[in-house]
Amino acid sequence: MSGFSTARLKMVDGQVRTNDVTDRRILDAMLTVPREAFVPVARQALAYLDLDLDVSEGGAKRFLIKPQLTGKLLQAAEIGEGDNVLVVGCATGYLAALTATLARQITATECDSALAAKAKDACASLANVTCKAAACAEGDPSAAPYDVIILNGAFEVTPEALLGQLKEGGRLVGVSAQSTPPRAMIVTHTHGEFGHRALFDAAAPVLPGLERAAAFVF
């Protein structure tokens, strides 16, 4: 077993299972998808640590969120094999690659065009994944409506455009940093209404374009 394979097993056993991720499909995906392939070579030794991993190469900081939070958000989303899923702020595409094992069709957006290109390359072998450069707050209306929208990060403002792309009965999962402490949140679309439910305390980097506007100070 290679060093990365061993690290992947330790990540799943030590970080993911121990945080109440019990969906076998998600555990299998996290054991199979090589996280190091989505990380710059100079940082691959950090690929399986319990941290939000900076994968940016110049420009704004962009991250793969912690493995345990990734697993818990995927489990909360209850993704079905026939689902059409939008992954927002996909960075280099790791979350999209995991989701590809669970759903029928994945659209992944990334606001940094260079990282979107890396995600496209990293997911090139996955026939059900389309990676695009797009602002995080905008989503991708062309492939909407979505059964599930999953955010690879946090939001400080209500993602109105994303909610508008949810199918009836659909759900959005991500980390709400609109209040303290930040919490993982699921938003469901039912009968034209949106219901919000906090899931558990969680922290993640805020996605570009979903930050709270800075207050003006005299």
Closest to 131 measured CA to CA, from 101, 155, 111: 111
Q: Residue 59: what pLDDT? A: 76
Confidence of residue 57 (pLDDT cuts 50, 70, 90): confident
Q: What is the mean pLDDT of the chain?
A: 95
Confidence of residue 2 (pLDDT cuts 50, 70, 90): confident
* Domain 3-201: CATH architecture, name and number where available: 3-Layer(aba) Sandwich (3.40)
Q: Residue 58: what pLDDT? A: 79
By percentage, how much of the chain surpasses pLDDT 90? 93
The answer to whether the beta carbons of residues 150 and 99 sit under 8 Å apart is yes
Cα 139 to Cα 132: distance, rounded to the nearest angstrom: 10
Q: Residue 179: what pLDDT? A: 87
**Residue holding tokens 């919000």?**
196
Structural domain spans, the chain: 3-201
Q: Residue 1: what pLDDT? A: 57
Average pLDDT on 141-161 reads 97
